[in-house]
Structure 1
Amino acid sequence: MSNKRIKPAFSIALLYPKYWSVWLGFGLLAFFVNILPYRLLLSFGRAIGKFGMRFGQKRVRIATRNLELAFPEKNQDEINAIVVENFKNTGLALIETGIAWFWPTWRFKRLMTYQNMEQLDTFEQEGKGVLVCFVHALNLEISARAFGVVGKHGHGVYRPHSNPAYDFIQYRGRTQNGNTVIDRRNLKEMIRVLRKGERLFYLPDHDYGHNKSVFVPFFAVKEACTTTGPSILAYPSHCAIITGSGFRNASGTYEIILDDSMHEIYPKKDMTAAAALLNKSLEKVILRGLDQWMWLHKRFKSMPDHSKTNERYL
């Protein structure tokens, strides 16, 4: 499967009435993010998230339970405060997606700061591919474009949307400034680009189910279902492995931070040890912006005993 096969092509069918709501919604988003001041956008997005809490009580319970499992040392008031901030940032994620997809490059670059990016130049000169492991931050679309605007573009793992109009817009939003995407099922292509010395952005921090996963610690949960995808990619490609983050700081600037590559200590032949090592690094990444990570997802739903899946959320 090649990238060309997943690139959505425009057709007259995308203008049919059943897609008008998608075009209208994204059109309004693009309009508002481009005419309103950034500070007002931040306030508006967070207000949307706070308002949405009353209609998303199931997700409130999931986020609360995730935090209880991950941080048993925190009291209920501390956890509730993080959940409120997390929902505010979830609402803001809509605005941040609009900023990432529709802002001009000159305006977008003004919000970015970068740390420890020099190693990418070194690996590029050596012809060594880089597996860039980010986390499911709510502002992930911002982070993805941030690499492209400074010429550090790479390949993202892509899941096509079921709505063709949405997919057309999403694809173009995510492939700005030189970034490309690879279908999430195309493992051979991921390995190929790493072998060629290119960058692949990968998110190994969610619970993807038992298939190709091991159970290792993640925060206070001793048996957290963790993908072995990084090992599957790293072993045949001999790539560098870098964790990183792109969280928004108190001033509203997005800090793109890369950690030092761990490829020299990464146990590629031992998938369990590799997953545990990577989780430790991802924990440090998430703690940089605890209330900006996707706590609304059931991170700990899978258990070693298949019959007990979701027991932690009962």
Structure 2
Amino acid sequence: MGKKRRQRPTDPRDPRLWPTRVGLALFWLIGQLPWDLLLSLGRGVGHLAWRVAGGRRRVTLTNLRLCFPELDEGERERMARQVFLSTGEAIIEMAGSFHNQRVDLGQRLTVKGMEHIDAARADGQGALLLGMHFNSIDVGSRLLGKILDFSVVYRPNDNPLLDRLITDGRGAWVKHSVDRNDLRRMIKLLRQGEILWYAPDQDYGTEHAVFVPFFGVPAATITATSRLAKMGRARVIPCAHYRLPGGRYEIEFGEPLADFPSGDDEADTSRINRTIEHFVRKHPEQYLWVHKRFKHQPEGRRSPY
């Protein structure tokens, strides 16, 4: 018989989680730094990660090779380095976003397309925000909470202390954090005219998914966006968030997807990916390219990783 697999600790008091507690204490201390210093420290973390995180570096370079074939090898490597710098900023930025309430990030924020949200509100219609995994996702939730009352769909973390950090950190800015498996609650919120942030742009496996192009590459993409929009009677409004020079930020709401859903899951999901691709191309270095977006492939095709 093989070795029995050790269960992950689920009790926050489990001694195996003491290293996490120490790390979270350090995370809190880092969060007290001035904002611009946080971002500078984050870029340092990104530089270090580029050197030591070989696995994620290879994943990033593979993604960029697949998605930006028009770039030569040197250009893709330069973009990959920028991805790591931006990801480092995001990691340290998270500490400030969760733990530093003294800084007023609203003064650093520019908003585009707010009229699309206002129109949905005026009609009493729920809005399903088509979220995207830019690496500023955590500071993005805080910034979004400055201008909207909204709820967020998330995947619970396996580590109970990290899960508490994330839900509490985001909880200060969102009305509800909804488990991604709780479809009934999502629909209820949308039918009540609420705003719900939902990001379908990661590889969650092949169940309830179709293979549609993302940057021209087959990507397993869940079809739930169409179902949520239909059952929740909601408008689907793209929502992107970018980090700008000088420690500033931008949230952009795109036009609601017209005639959506269409009744064709594959066509709708392909349209979702095209929409996300449009916003990613504006600041590609800020997207979560360290994620294995193309891990699952159609039968007969090997994973590129």
Q: After TM superposition, is the score higher than 0.5? A: yes
Of Structure 1 and Structure 2, the greater helix share is in 1
- Map of 1:236 onto structure 2: 231
Matches within 5 A, 1:270-285: 270-285=264-279
Q: Which of 23, 26, 29 is matched with 1:28 structurally?
A: 26
- 1:167 CA drift (Å): 2.1
Q: Which of 289, 293, 298 is matched with 1:295 structurally?
A: 289
Distance 2:219 2:156 in 1: 27
- 1:128 CA drift (Å): 0.7
Structure 1 residue 286 corresponds to structure 2 residue 271: no
- Aligned-pair Cα RMSD in Å: 1.8
Distance 2:164 2:13 in 1: 12
- 1:14 CA drift (Å): 4.1
Distance 1:16 1:109 in 2: 39
- Please identify, of 43-52 and 120-129, the stretch whose mean Cα deviation from structure 2 is larger: 120-129
TM-score normalised by length of structure 2: 0.90
Shift of the 267–163 alpha-carbon distance from structure 1 to 2, 3 Å rule, reads closer
Structure 1 residue 75 corresponds to structure 2 residue 68: no
- Map of 2:94 onto structure 1: 97
Distance 2:276 2:102 in 1: 29
- Structure 1 unaligned regions, length at least 5: 1-12
Structure 1: 4+ residue segments shifted above 6 A:
none
SS at match of 2:252: strand
Amino acid at match of 2:301: K
Shift of the 228–309 alpha-carbon distance from structure 1 to 2, 3 Å rule, reads farther
CA contact (8 A) 1:105 1:149 kept: no
Structure 1 residue 219 corresponds to structure 2 residue 215: yes
Amino acid at match of 1:25: G
- 1:17 CA drift (Å): 4.9
SS at match of 2:219: strand
Shift of the 164–87 alpha-carbon distance from structure 1 to 2, 3 Å rule, reads same
- 1:73 CA drift (Å): 0.9
Tell me the alpha carbon deviations over residues 168-192 of structure 1, each in whole angstroms, 9 at most, x when there is no partner.
2221101113432011111111111
- Structure 2 unaligned regions, length at least 5: 1-10
Distance 2:270 2:14 in 1: 49
- 1:293 CA drift (Å): 0.6
Distance 1:107 1:18 in 2: 37
- 1:85 CA drift (Å): 0.8
CA contact (8 A) 2:236 2:256 kept: yes
Shift of the 105–192 alpha-carbon distance from structure 1 to 2, 3 Å rule, reads farther
Q: Which of 109, 112, 115 is matched with 2:112 structurally?
A: 115
- 1:265 CA drift (Å): 2.6
Amino acid at match of 1:266: F
TM-score normalised by length of structure 1: 0.88
- Map of 1:66 onto structure 2: 63
SS at match of 1:179: coil
Paired-residue identity, %:
33
- Map of 1:198 onto structure 2: 194
CA contact (8 A) 2:152 2:174 kept: no
